[in-house]
Chains A and B, each alone.
Chain A
Amino acid sequence: MQPGASATETAPAARAALAAVLAPAFLRKLDRLHLVVRRSLSTRPGNTPMPRGAQGSGIELESYKAYGAGDDLRYLDWNAYGRLDQLLIKTFRAEREAPLHVFIDASASMAAPASDNKFSFAASLALSLAYISLRRNDPVRIVGLSAAWPQLCFSSPFVRHRDALPRLRDFLLVLRPQGATALATGIAAALRDQRSPGVAIIVSDFLLEPAAYEATLRELVARRFTVAALRVIGPGERNPSSLFRRGRLTDVETGRQRFITLTQNSLARYREALAAHLAQLQAFCRRCEIGYSTADTAAGIEHSLFRDLPALGLLR
C-alpha cells in the first residue's frame, strides 16, 4: 500500500469516523439495508436479485408464462393446470453476483476546507456501503482516485465476506487526500481490466468541469454499470463566510490564488455558482439514469445511508 502524503484532513478524524462505522450498533443498523441494483450485472450466480434478468435458478417466483416448446417441465405449475386447464411455466428472479466498486475521490480538494471533514465522511460512506454489499457476499473493492499516484488510482483487492471489512478499513486509513482530481482517468484506469459490469458508486465533491466527468460516467452507464454519484459537501463549502471575510484563497490542488473580500454580493454570487454546479451535476445524472445524491457532512452519515440513499433508490 502506498502511504499518502500529509493532507489538510487529519488521520485521527478518519480513524474515528471509520471506527464508528465498525461499531456493532451501527453495523446492526446497516443490516437493515441492502443495495438495489437495476441493471443486469455479472453473469456469475450470486445472491443479488436481478430484475428482468434471464431465467435462472432462483427461488423467488417472479411470474408465469405460457408453456413453449423446450421449456423445462420441472417448472410447470400443475396446480394452475388443474384449475385453469392451461400449461403455465413458473419464472424466477435470476440471482447474480453484483460486484461493488466504490470510487472515493482522494484528491486534495476532499480535504479542504478541513472543517468539512469530507474525506472522512466519504471513507465512512464507502465502508458502510461495502459492508452492506458484503452481507450478500458480493465482492467489494474500494478505489481511491488521485492524480498523485502514478496509476491515478489506488485500489483495494476485492473482498467477499464481511469478516474482511477491517481490511477495507485499513485500506481507507492508508489513503490520504492529495494531488489533483483524477476522477475520470482514475475510474477508467481502475475498470480497465473489469469485463463484467457491477455497481459503481462514486463518492466525490465533483469540483471539476463537467466535461471532465460526464464522458466517464456515460461510459460506465454504457458498460451497464449501475452508477451512483454521491456529491459530498460540507458547511464550509456551502457557506464560506464562516471561514473568512477577506482572504487569499488558495486552490489546494493547483496552488492558484485569488484575493477575495467576501461581501454580501460576492457571497451571493458564489452561492449561485454552487447551486448551478450542483444542479448541473444532478441534471446530468438524471439524464443518464445515474443515481445522484448530495451527502452533507453536516447532516451526518446516517442521514445519507438511511434517508438520502434510500430516497435515491440505491439502498432499501
Chain B
Amino acid sequence: MSFAEPLAFLFAGLYGVLVVLYLWERWRRRVEVPSLLLWEVVREDTIRARRFRPDLLFILQLLLLSCLIVGLARPYLSGGPDTRTGTRHIFILDTSASMQAREARQSRFEQARTQALDLLRGLRRGEEVMLVTTAPAPEVLVNFTRDHTAVATALQDIAPTDTGCDLALALAFAESARQRSDAPAEVDVFTDTPRRQLPQAARDHARVFQVGETDENIGIEGLQIFQGPFEDFHRARAYVLVENFAHREGHGFLTVRLGDQVVNRNGFTLPPRQSKGFLVHGFPGPGRVVAQLEVTDALAADNVAFGWIRPVQPLRVLLVSPSSPLIDDLRELAAATPGMQLTVLDPEGFSAEQTGRADVAIFNRFVPAPPPTANALYIYPPKDNPLFPVVADAENVEVLDWNAHHPVLRSLRPLAALPLQRARILSPPAWSEVLLWSRDPQHEFPLAFAGEHEGHRIACIAFNFESERLLSSDTMNLFLFFMNLVGWLAPRGDAVTTVNTGEVAAVVDMPDGPMRLQDPNGRIEMLAAGQRTIQPRVVGEYKISVDGTRRALLANFFDPVESDIGRSGKEPPAPPHAVPAVAQNRQAAQTSDRQEYATWLYYAAAALFLLEWAAARRRAG
C-alpha cells in the first residue's frame, strides 16, 4: 500500500495530545466531603489519575483519530503487474526562440511547460512518457519511461534556445514512434505554432497545446560587416537591418558599439511590418561590434547582434615572373594595400625554399619543377609546364560563365564579356574546381580553376596578364577576381568567426586535443578530442581553446520566421483526430490501477464518532 499524501502522518502528533487530554481529564480536583457514606451508591469512575489505563472511550477516540489521519494520507493500492496496457505519451516541447516571447507575466515556454507538467501529473501510474524537444533539431530528452518524476525534472531543466526549430521533423519522429509503439500512444505538442500550420499527418494524431498571442517584436534581422580582405578598420562598414514584426508602429534606439565604445546611436520609428537599414562607419579600430536594440517588445533574443572587424594581417606575396607589366601592377597594389609585402623574383633567381617565407607565391609564365609545396597561383603557365598540361592556345576569348558559388566569385558582379587576348587551354586537374569558363568553336575550356592539393591551395589563371592590365579601370572585375583569388589562396586565420545560431560551425586550424568550449552563459564544456564542430544555441560569444590556442565564435540569431512571433488567434487543444479502435477498446478495458481508500476511512471515522458519542452518553447516564 502507498500513500498519496504521506505528509498527513505528521498529524500523528495528535496522539500525544489525545493522551495528554485523557490524563488531564482523569486528573481530578480534590473535593472534601464530610463522608463517603452517601456516595457509596454512586458508581465510581474506573480510571485512576496516576496510571494510564485506556478505557473504551479512549480506544474509540484513538481509532477515530487514526482513521482520520490515515484517510488524510490517502492510502491506495497500486495495480497488478499488468500495467503495460497504459497509454504512452509523447510530449513534444517547442524550444525555439519564439517560445521566449513574454505573454504578460510568463513566457510562452513557461506556459507550455506548465501545461506539460499539468498533463504529466494527471497521468496514471504506469503510463509511459517520452519527452522530445525541437530546437535546434528534434532531440529525445527522455525516452519512454514510467518515472514521471524524472520527466518532470527534465521539463524543469529545459531552457529554450535562440534558434529556429524543425517542428515538422519532430512531429514526424513522434508519429513514427507512435506507430511503432506496442501500446496505444498519444502525441501532445506544446508549441506556439498554430495547429493549422502543422503538417496534416501530424494534425490527425497529435493534440496541440498552443500558447502565445502577442506580435510585439522588433528585432535585428541582419548585421553585415563589410571589410575587404585587405582593408583595415578604417574602411570597414557595418550594415544593420532592423525589422518591426508587429502590426503597429514601433519605436526604439539602435546602438552600435565597438567593444565598450559607442560608435553610433540612432532613434527610429518603424511602421508596422516594415524594416529599416542602418549603415555605420567610422569604427575607431578592429574588434567586436555589438548592435543593440533598445525597444519594448516581447522577444529579447533578436535585440542584439555581433560582428567582427578584423585587424589587418600582413600578407607576404612572392611574385616570380619575368619582366612583365604584372610586376609594376603588383608593386603598385602592394603599396596601396595595408599589410601586403611583395617580393619579386626572376625565375632564374627562384629557389623552392623562398616560398617558405611567403603566404602566397605567384608564378607568372613560370612553373618551377618540382612545383613548390606552398599556396600558389600560376598565371599563364608555359606550354611544357609539369603541372597543367596545355591542350592548345586560344586567342581573343571571353569569359562566358563563372562559378558564382565559389568563395572567390561569390560577391563579384558578372565577369561576362571580359575580353581576353591570349589564353591557354588547359586540362584542369581532378582536385580542382573551375572558376571561369570560356568556349571555342569546338568545346568549353576553363580560364581559371582552383583547388586544394596536398594541403595547399593552388589556383591557375589560364590567360595572360600582359595585355590585360590588372589595375586598369576597364578590368575592375578582373582586379577584384585576382584579389579574391589571392585572398583565397592565403586565408587569414581569423581568431573570431561569426555564425548563426542553430548552424553547425566548423572550428579549423586548431591543434589536436580536447577542446574547451565556454558558452555565452559561462557554462564550460569539454568536447571530445576529435570533435571540431559547434552548434551554437544561444546568442553571444563562444570561447574555444585547445592547448592555449584560442578562437572565438560570435553567434547571431537572424531568423525572421522565429522573430515573427505574432499568432493570429489561439486554438484550443483538439483531441486526436483518429484513435485506433483497438487502442480505444484497450483503453476502455483498462481499469485504474490505483484504488484509494480515503473515503472508506472517513466513513469508518464517522461510525466511530457515533459509537464514541453513544458510549459517552451511556457513561453519563
Contacts and interface: CB of A to CB of B under 8 A. Distances in A.
Contact of A252 (B33, B39, B43): B33
Interface in A266-280: 266, 269-270, 272-274, 277
Interface residues of A, number: 40
A108 B36 CA distance: 13
Contacts of B44: 258-260
Given A259-B44, A260-B44, A261-B45, A270 B38 contact: yes
Contacts of B34: 108-110, 112-113, 118, 205, 207, 237, 251-253
B29 interface: yes
B35 A266 contact: no
A43 to B, nearest CB: 40
A265 interface: yes
B508 interface: no
Given A259-B28, A266-B42, 9 more contacts: A112-B33, A247-B28, A247-B31, A248-B28, A260-B42, A265-B621, A269-B42, A270-B38, A272-B41
Contacts of A109: 34-35
A240 B47 CA distance: 21
A137 interface: no
Contacts of A209: 37
Given A259-B44, A259-B48, A263-B621, A207 B37 contact: yes
The 3 closest A-B pairs by CB, nearest first: A109-B34, A248-B28, A247-B31
Interface of A: 8, 108-110, 112-114, 118, 205, 207-209, 237, 240, 243-244, 246-254, 256, 258-261, 263-266, 269-270, 272-274, 277
Contact of A250 (B31, B43, B619): B31
Contact of A273 (B29, B30, B38, B47): B38
Interface string B31-64: 1111111111111110111000000000000000
Contacts of A272: 41
Contacts of A237: 34
A208 B37 contact: yes
B223 to A, nearest CB: 89
Contacts of B620: 261, 263-265
Contact of B30 (A113, A248, A253): A248
Given A248-B28, A269-B42, A270-B42, A258 B36 contact: yes
Contacts of B40: 273
Contacts of A259: 28, 44-45, 47-49
Interface size bracket, B side: 20 to 34
15 contacts: A108-B34, A113-B31, A113-B34, A114-B32, A237-B34, A250-B32, A251-B33, A252-B33, A252-B34, A259-B44, A260-B42, A263-B620, A264-B620, A270-B42, A272-B41
Contacts of B35: 109, 205, 207-208, 251, 253
B277 to A, nearest CB: 94
Given A265-B621, A266-B43, A269-B42, A248 B37 contact: no
Nearest to B25: A246
A205 B34 CA distance: 9
Interface in B574-621: 619-621
A274 B48 contact: no
A209 B621 CA distance: 28
Given A207-B34, A265-B620, A248 B49 contact: yes
Contacts of A243: 31
Contact of B29 (A108, A244, A256): A244
Contacts of B48: 259
A252 B43 CA distance: 20
B134 to A, nearest CB: 74
A112 B39 contact: no
A248 B41 CA distance: 16
B22 to A, nearest CB: 13
B621 A250 contact: no
A240 B35 CA distance: 12
Given A244-B29, A244-B31, A263-B620, A270 B41 contact: yes
A277 B31 contact: no
A109 B41 CA distance: 19
Contacts of B29: 244, 246-248
B52 to A, nearest CB: 15
A240 B45 CA distance: 17
A314 B32 CA distance: 33
A118 B34 CA distance: 10
A265 B619 CA distance: 10
Given A240-B33, A263-B621, A249 B39 contact: yes
Contacts of A252: 32-34
B410 to A, nearest CB: 103
Contacts of A246: 28-29
Contacts of B36: 249, 251, 254, 256, 258
Contacts of A269: 41-42
B27 to A, nearest CB: 8
Contacts of B33: 112-113, 240, 249-252
Contacts of B31: 113, 243-244, 247-250
Given A244-B31, A252-B33, A258 B38 contact: no
Nearest to A110: B34
A216 B309 CA distance: 132
B169 to A, nearest CB: 80
A99 B163 CA distance: 126
B40 to A, nearest CB: 8
Contacts of B37: 207-209, 277
Contacts of A112: 32-34
Contacts of A250: 30-33
Nearest to A263: B620
A41 B30 CA distance: 48
A256 B35 CA distance: 9
B563 to A, nearest CB: 80
Contacts of B49: 248, 259
A247 B30 contact: yes
Contacts of B42: 258, 260, 266, 269-270, 273
Q: Which of B30, B35, B620 has the most CB of A within 10 A?
A: B35
Contacts of B38: 207, 270, 273-274, 277
A110 B34 CA distance: 7
A114 to B, nearest CB: 8
A13 to B, nearest CB: 16
